[in-house]
Amino acid sequence: MKIQENLRETARKLLADGEASLVIGYAPGSEVSRVVPAFISREDEVDRLVWNPLCINNLAKYLLDYRHEPGKVAVVVKGCDSRAINRLLQDNQITREKVIILGIPCPGLINPDLVAARLDPGAQITVAAVSEQDFSLQTEEETFTFTRDEALLKKCRDCEQHTPVIADFMLGEEIPPNDPADPFVAVKTLEELPVEERSAYWDKQFSRCLRCYACRNVCPACTCRECVFDQAEPCWVAKANNLSENTAFHLIRAFHVAGRCVDCGECDRVCPVNIPLSLLNRKILKDIKDLFNVPTPGTSLEELPPLGAFTKSDPDEFM
């Protein structure tokens, strides 16, 4: 709980000194298995802030809502989310001087469904601890232990950066990267299927898309002032919900964020009908890595996205 205390103290100081006008972090949600993005602008609200293994949401994109505010905005980021900060900075969506990055080295998160299945929904987590073997969540009543094997969130299994790649305040001890598991196993399995089966696989996924645009709205690479999918003229993708239009939506989106998707996993998390969107984005991520030998977008502020940078040494055999 050291990190949570550091977080609250740092937030309190930033607000008290007038250094930040707003702190974006996590607060307890409507039930024990959920947290909510919290927007804290007063010192006396700082104790609402929590840090525990349920803090999944990537908060970086909320910075866009406050980019025209006069004051500085502080935001809590984990390793994965921190890549989104670099991404937004590279696209000049946010200004470095106007954001204060509260970095939290994150040892991995817990699958909230397992927490919901075992804990009383009305309980409050008082202490949360993560070890190499397990997660331990303490409530007023008792302590619950989940083994890491059963409970680690899927996206955390091949985490690239536990420690944020950019931060003004690092609120915990740096956690060295794992021996990374191959994040592209599922992509490779799909790549090996015959083309008809691959096509059938995606047809089934895209057919149930509701076009709710949650994947787009949550995405830190989606920052267009007016999205092509919201335009009536020209009509790139019709409003009609059918396999053809849905496929067009997903493929256009995947190509649009190509080289800019930071692999934070939010699209996957929010999809109400569980379309494995990270698989689509990781296919492109893998191809870009193979072609240009670059790290995951957002890993470094200096490394521009390969499709967004120009160098004289670019091969141009396709021209």
Partner 1 sequence: MKAYTITRDNLGAWLDALARDYTLIAPVREEETVSLFKPVRGFAEINLGYTNSTVSPKGWLFPQTEEMFFFSTGGGQITLADAQTPGPAVLFGLRPCDIKGILALDPVFNGAYQDCYYQKRRQDTILVGLSCTRVERHCFCTSMGGGPTDGGGADLLLTEMDDGYGIEVLTPRGEELVNRYQQYFDADRENRVIPAREELGKKLAGQFTRNVDTTGVKEFLDQHFELPYWGELARRCLGCGICTYICPTCHCFDIFDQSPDGELGVRSRCWDSCMFSHFTRMAGGHNPRPTQKERVRNRFLHKLKYHRDRYNLDGCVGCGRCVTRCPVNIDIRQIIADLQEVARHD
| Closest distance to partner 1 from the beta carbon of 137 (Å) | 17
Adjacent-strand bridge partners of 110:
152
State the minimum distance, in angstroms, from the CB of residue 127 to partner 1. Answer: 22
Position 240 contacts partner 1 (CB under 8 A): yes
Quote the least distance from Cβ 113 to partner 1, whole Å.
9
The residues near 61 (Cβ < 8 Å, ≥ 6 apart) are 84, 88, 218, 219, 220
Q: What are phi and psi of 195, to 5 degrees?
A: -55, -35
| 39 contacts partner 1 (rule: CB under 8 A) | yes
Q: How far is CA 303 from the centre of its chain?
A: 19
Candidates 43, 65, 69, 174: give the one binding partner 1 (CB under 8 A). 65
Here's the x/- map for partner 1, 122-141, by CB under 8 A: it reads as x-------------------
Which of these segments, 29-37, 148-156, 168-176, 305-313, binds partner 1 (CB under 8 A)?
Answer: 29-37
CB within 8 Å of 309: residues ≥ 6 apart: none
**Cα distance between the two ends of the chain:** 56
Question: By CB under 8 A, is residue 286 in contact with partner 1?
Answer: no
Provide the token pair at 233.
């003229």
Contact set for partner 1, span 245-274 (CB under 8 A): 266, 269-270, 272-274
Verify binding: residue 230, partner 1, rule CB under 8 A: yes
Residue with Cβ nearer partner 1 (29 or 306): 29
CB atoms within 10 A of CB 162: 20
Which distant-in-sequence residues (6+ apart) come within 8 Å of 173 by Cβ? 105
- Give 184's Cβ-side CA count (13 Å radius): 14
Positions in the binding site for partner 1 (CB under 8 A): 29-31, 34-39, 57, 62, 65, 116, 121-122, 204, 208, 210-214, 216-218, 230, 232, 238-242, 266, 269-270, 272-274
